Amino acid sequence: MKVLVPVKRVLDYNVKARVKPDQSGVDLSNVKMSMNPFDEIAVEEAVRLQEAGTATETIVVSIGPAKAQETIRTGLAMGMDRGVHVQTDEDLEPLAIAKILKAVAEAEGADLIVMGKQAIDNDYGATGGMLAALLGWPIGSAANSIALDGGALSVVKEVDGGLQTVKLQMPALVTADLRLNEPRYASLPNIMKAKRKPIDAKTPADFGVDTTPRLKTLKVTEPAAREAGIKVEDAAALVDKLKNEAGVI
């Protein structure tokens, strides 16, 4: 079984995003970038499937600027076999990404796609669903655990009220929630080894995908600021304030 894992290079999750003064977007110059945390979990799951003998080949793909190669190398250092880098300097929307990924999945003959449930930068949470629909595959989103059960994939999903189990016919797509696994750290020897693993260089044009944005960003602004309030002395003062000043209890 071939497993494809799409990964995204995003602003590191510990860094607070700063809006540019001209309101054109978030300032990404000279800030720490990392692999999207949900994608790390997806990579880890693919590597585990390979270690269990379920996956025969694991392919990590990223769509983005030249530096997205570093993100692919991170996936390779965690244990994936090879990479595909679709280079573009445009900030593509989930629909365009899903179309490119569909073409990659078909070209690679993927049987299973594992990916993050959302990227922590644009917070769309849409690419996985779009990709599954374009491929005509079933989806297990926000996966808490997955297990191959005969020819089908059993997925325990995190839903609003708790957990839900669904069974998907293969080929299938799974989006990873935070609790699917604990991603490993890449060791130095594995990072060195990853430098020799192959990365295919592609462009969106290779797949004939029209990437024209459908949404125009009119402006990006700071959210309404929330000021710090006051410190109270003790529990009695807190109850008094909540009851008599704020009137919320």
Partner 1 sequence: MAVLVIAEHDNTTLKDATHKTVTAASQMGGDVDILVAGKGIKDVVAAAAKIDGVRAVIGVDHDALERQLAEAMEVVVVGLMDGYDAVLAPDTTSHKNYMPRVAAKLDVQQISSVTGVESADTFVRPIYAGNAMATVQSTDSKKVVTVRATAFAAAGEGGSASTSDADAGLGALKSEYVSEELSKSDRPELTAAKVVVSGGRGMGSGENFKLLEGIADKLGAAMGASRAAVDAGFVPNDWQVGQTGKAVAPQLYIAVGISGAIQHLAGMKDSKVIAAINKDEDAPIFSVADYGLVADLFKALPELEAELTKAGY
The footprint of partner 1 on residues 104-133 (CB under 8 A) is: 117-118, 120-133
Cβ-based nearer residue to partner 1, 50 or 88: 88
The contact pattern for partner 1, residues 35-74, with x = CB under 8 A and - = no contact, is: ---x------------------------------------
The reply to whether 32 sits near partner 1 by the rule CB under 8 A is no
CB 88 to partner 1: min, Å: 16
Residue in 53, 161, 189, 208 binding partner 1, rule: CB under 8 A:
161
How far is the CA of 228 from the CAs of 52, 225, 231, 232, in angstroms?
Answer: 51, 10, 9, 13
Q: Are 59 and 2 in contact (CB under 8 A)?
A: yes
Q: Give the Cα separation of 171 and 165 in Å (integer).
A: 17
Structure token pair of residue 126: 């849409």
Span interacting with partner 1, options 43-51, 65-73, 160-168, 198-206, rule CB under 8 A:
160-168
Which one, of 238, 244, 249, 5, lies nearest residue 114 by Cα? 5
Read off the amino acid at residue 22: D
Cβ-based nearer residue to partner 1, 53 or 123: 123
Q: Give the Cα separation of 169 and 112 in Å (integer).
A: 10
Q: How many of the other CB atoms lie within 10 Å of CB of 116?
A: 28
CB 83 to partner 1: min, Å: 25
Alpha carbon 35 to its chain centroid, in Å, reads 8
Residue in 69, 87, 154, 211 binding partner 1, rule: CB under 8 A:
154
CB 27 to partner 1: min, Å: 10
